[in-house]
Amino acid sequence: MHASHSALGLALLCVSAGAVATMPVIGRLCVRYGSRPVTVASLVLLSLSVLLPPHMHTVPTLGAVLVLFGAGYGAANVSMNSAAVEVVAELRRPVMPSFHAGYSLGGLLGAAVGGLLAASVSASWALALSGLLGLLVTAAAGTALLRERTRATGRTAPAAAGATPAAAPGAARSAAAAPARRGRAGHTRLLVLLLGLTALCSSYGEGSLADWATLHLTDDVHASAGLAAFGYAAYAFAMTSGRLAGTWLSIRLGPARLMAAGGLTAGAGMLIAALTPSVPLVLAGFVLVGLGLANLFPLAIARAGEAGGPQGVATASTLGYAGMLIGPPVIGFLADAASLPIALTTVAAAGAGAAVLSVLVHRPALNAR
């Protein structure tokens, strides 16, 4: 397109705009139609939208199709997490981190395979093959999802879903129960908000490291370009490994302890990576950040879904995604005002904040029903 970096940056911002605008709406659609059909529709939209960017020849048209891609991404994010919350409830095991390990592994594989495709074929063919793969996966997984939903339609809905007890004989009792219901709803909203802020703290660190870890290694620690690339890969691999172990750790430690320990580990790792001049120590710090952040987001989303259903997932996901948006520019502004190592210490502060929030959201008083 022969566009400037700033123009392309604005176009890429449309991905975020589409995602943030879509997430709250998808929560309501999941409540009305079920999370599994919405998941299938979202993945179809996401896969098809991948085909379009190479065929756009101006920045405004590119921005328009990236809004569509962002909408598919945001819709898939909320609907898949809502469907995963249902599976967690059916299994009665905290398996949410395993689903998010798939997300992390997909990012690693997508970057590697996408790079190989882009080097051997045109961008149009690379994205076309990616979109085709997405449609094939959607067809296979979607068939299973919709079949399971059909089987589940005969199940009796739980009484807590909002049915009025038959034993309540009059308007007086309903009126007396109204303040209690409003109190529970207020507690749920507060709990979901705090969980969303926990997810925000986690994704603030994820977004910041994705954009700034390599530059920190090359400019501040004077590592080679190859070693700097390995540094981010080590962080991403540590996050994937931490999520693969997340179910086992959650069972052994409990979600509250795992989330609090993860926030503190990420904070300590970021301080090491930001403030030490040694390349091995910086790499070790990035590994600690990856391990610490690994299970914060998935466990926060799982708890939000348990408390508030698909709408809770949508609210927490929107807040969490906001952290990924604000992280990189905040780091950039602070790096200009002070230095990049000082700016990166805000990731440590976010990790500590996530640890504190994790303790708050698991307080018995807040979780009383």
* Per-domain residue ranges of the chain: 1-149, 187-369
Q: Provide the mean pLDDT of the chain.
A: 85
Residue 279 sits at φ, ψ, to 5 deg, of: -60, -45
Of the pLDDT bands very low, low, confident and very high (cuts 50, 70, 90), residue 181 is low
CATH code of the domain made up of 187-369: 1.20.1250.20
Q: What pLDDT is recorded for position 214?
A: 86
Has this prediction a pTM greater than 0.75? yes
Quick: pLDDT tens for 50-99.
999 888 989 899 999 999 999 999 999 999 999 998 888 888 888 999 89
Q: How many beta carbons lie within 10 A of that of residue 254, not counting itself?
A: 13
Quick: pLDDT tens for 289-300.
999 999 999 999
**Residues whose CB falls within 8 Å of the CB of residue 199, separated by 6 or more in sequence, listed in order:** 296, 297, 300, 301, 304, 316, 317, 319, 320, 323
Residue 52 sits at φ, ψ, to 5 deg, of: -85, -40
Of the pLDDT bands very low, low, confident and very high (cuts 50, 70, 90), residue 239 is very high
Quick: pLDDT tens for 264-274.
999 999 999 99
Q: What pLDDT is recorded for position 165?
A: 41
Reply yes or no on whether the pLDDT at 157 is more than 60.
no
The CA distance from 224 to 190, in Å, is: 47
Please compute the mean of the pLDDT values over residues 338-356 and round it to a whole number.
95
Residue with tokens 């529709």: 41
Reply yes or no on whether the pLDDT at 5 is more than 60.
yes
Reply yes or no on whether the pLDDT at 155 is more than 50.
no
The CA distance from 73 to 134, in Å, is: 12
Reply yes or no on whether the pLDDT at 41 is more than 70.
yes
Quick: pLDDT tens for 282-324.
999 999 999 999 999 999 999 999 998 898 999 998 898 888 8
Residue 303 sits at φ, ψ, to 5 deg, of: -70, -35
Name the least confident of 111-115, 194-198, 346-350.
111-115
Q: What pLDDT is recorded for position 233?
A: 82
